[in-house]
Amino acid sequence: MEPSTEKISVKDLSMAYGDFVVMRSLNFSVKRGEVKVIMGGSGCGKSTLLKHMIGLERSSSGEIFYDGELFRPDATAGDAFCRRFGVLFQGGALWTSMTVAENIALPLESYTRLRASEIREVVEFKLSLVGLAGFGHRYPSELSGGMRKRAGLARAIALDPQILFFDEPSAGLDPLSSRRLDDLILELRAALGATVVVVTHELASIFAIADSALFLDAETKSALCDGNPNDLIDDPTVDSKVRNFLKRGELDQATAPAIK
């Protein structure tokens, strides 16, 4: 059978917290080796969508397929299925009672049969990828917010996962680190053939890394458009909210005097 190019496909996914509906019937797919950016205003449900995709939250309706296989979070928890995921949480979510090195070593110890010396080497390498070489002995509380974020990223890529989920990876990073992070994401994609789903607001990185971008709108509780941001920005058929977002609200400013 020829492998389909769709790594992830989301069908009719509705998300809600109790009675509070976050998004209604989302449909989109992520191709193998693609970098998909999920963007949208703060609080529109991007993190929630990510949590649904990795099975931390249960959808009120709809299905998610990985490689054409239905994702059933209950049946596959802790399984090889989930080991294909690498997740960077919005707050880093490092385990605070372990050093940074131990944080990265834990998945390696649990899922591989590497010797201790090899694990140390891998940890040091992953840390150097995110620019934190030599910080392994520190505790998370001894790192800055951006460093914690990068350490979380190193942990996410510890097992060379096939699918990477990043929740606002560049929030709290300086422009240089943020740029390096974009490079790293593209490199990981190229080197591991990884499929990447990134939640981000950072316009520069949206344009730099996104193969396609999904715009979530809180008002209509649906995805407004899905496509390459470089095309979206100049396409007049695209909803003006999206173009406005991509232009940092310049459309609003341009139209405001006209309304007056």
Partner 1 sequence: MLYLKRVVVQAVGGLHGYISLQWQAKERQWRIKTMTRTNNKPACTAQSGSSGSGPPDLVLRLSGRWSLAEQRPALSEVVAEVDASGHKTLRFDVDALQSWDTGLLIFVRSCQDWAEAQGLICELADLPEGVQNMVSLSREVPKNRNMPEKQVRDWLSGVGEHSIGMFDGLMRYFTFTGELVLDLFAFLTGRAQMRRKDCLFILQNTGAMAVPIVALLSFLTGLIIAFIGVIQLQKFAADIYVADLVGLAMTRELAAVMAGVIMAGRTGAAFAAQIGSMQVNEEVDALTTFGISPMQFLVLPRVIAMVLMMPLLCVCANLVGILGGMVVAVGIADVTLVQYINQIDSAVSTTDFAVGVFKSAVFGVIIAMAGCYRGLYCGKDAASVGLAATSAVVTAITWIVIADAVFAVLFHILGI
Ligand X SMILES: Nc1ncnc2c1ncn2[C@@H]1O[C@H](COP(=O)(O)OP(=O)(O)O)[C@@H](O)[C@H]1O
Residues that bind partner 1 (CB under 8 A): 75, 80, 95-97, 112, 114, 118, 121-122, 125-126, 128-129, 131-135, 137, 139-141, 160, 180, 183-184, 187, 190-192
Q: Which residues contact 115 (CB under 8 A, 6 or more apart)?
A: none
Residue span 11-50 as binding mask against ligand X, x where in contact by CB under 6 A, dash where not: ------x--x-x-------------------xxxxxxx--
- Which amino acid, one-letter code, is at 65? F
The C-alpha atoms of residue 194 and residue 7 are separated, in whole angstroms, by 10
With CB cut-offs between 5 and 8 Å by kind, which of Mg ion, ligand X, partner 1, none does residue 63 bind? none
Antiparallel, parallel or unpaired: β 212-217 and 222-227: antiparallel
**Residue labelled with tokens 């976050």:** 22
Give the C-alpha separation, 154 to 147, whole Å: 10
Token pair belonging to 103: 């944080």
Burial 37-51 (b: 16+ CB within 10 A, else e): bbbbeeebbbbbbbb
For partner 1, the closer of residues 186 and 203 by Cβ is 186
Q: Residue 48 or 99: which CB sits closer to ligand X?
A: 48
Question: Which residue, 1 or 75, has its beta carbon nearer to partner 1?
Answer: 75
At its nearest, how many Å lie between partner 1 and the CB of residue 117?
9
DSSP-derived 3-state class of residue 243 = helix
How far, in Å, are 13, 18, 45, 185 from residue 23 at the CA level?
8, 13, 7, 27
Least CB distance to Mg ion at residue 142 (A) = 25
Residue 155 burial (10 A CB sphere; 0-12, 13-18, 19+): buried
47 lies in the binding site for Mg ion (CB under 5 A): yes
In the complex with partner 1, the residue whose CB is nearer, 117 or 237, is 117
Measured from the CB of residue 131, what is the shortest distance to partner 1 in angstroms?
4
- Our CB check for Mg ion shows the closer of 114 and 171 to be 171
119: part of which helix (H) or strand (E)? helix 116-129
The listed partner (partner 1, Mg ion, ligand X, none) that binds 114, CB under 5 to 8 Å by sort, is partner 1
Q: Is residue 200 at the binding interface for ligand X, with CB under 6 A as the rule?
A: no
Min separation Cβ 47 and ligand X, Å: 3
- Which amino acid is residue 117, in one-letter code? S
| Beta-bridge partner residues of 15 | 23
Instruction: Name the binder of 22 from partner 1, Mg ion, ligand X, none, CB < 5-8 A by kind.
Output: ligand X
Q: Which residues bind Mg ion (CB under 5 A)?
A: 47, 90
Q: Give residues in contact with ligand X (CB under 6 A).
A: 17, 20, 22, 42-48
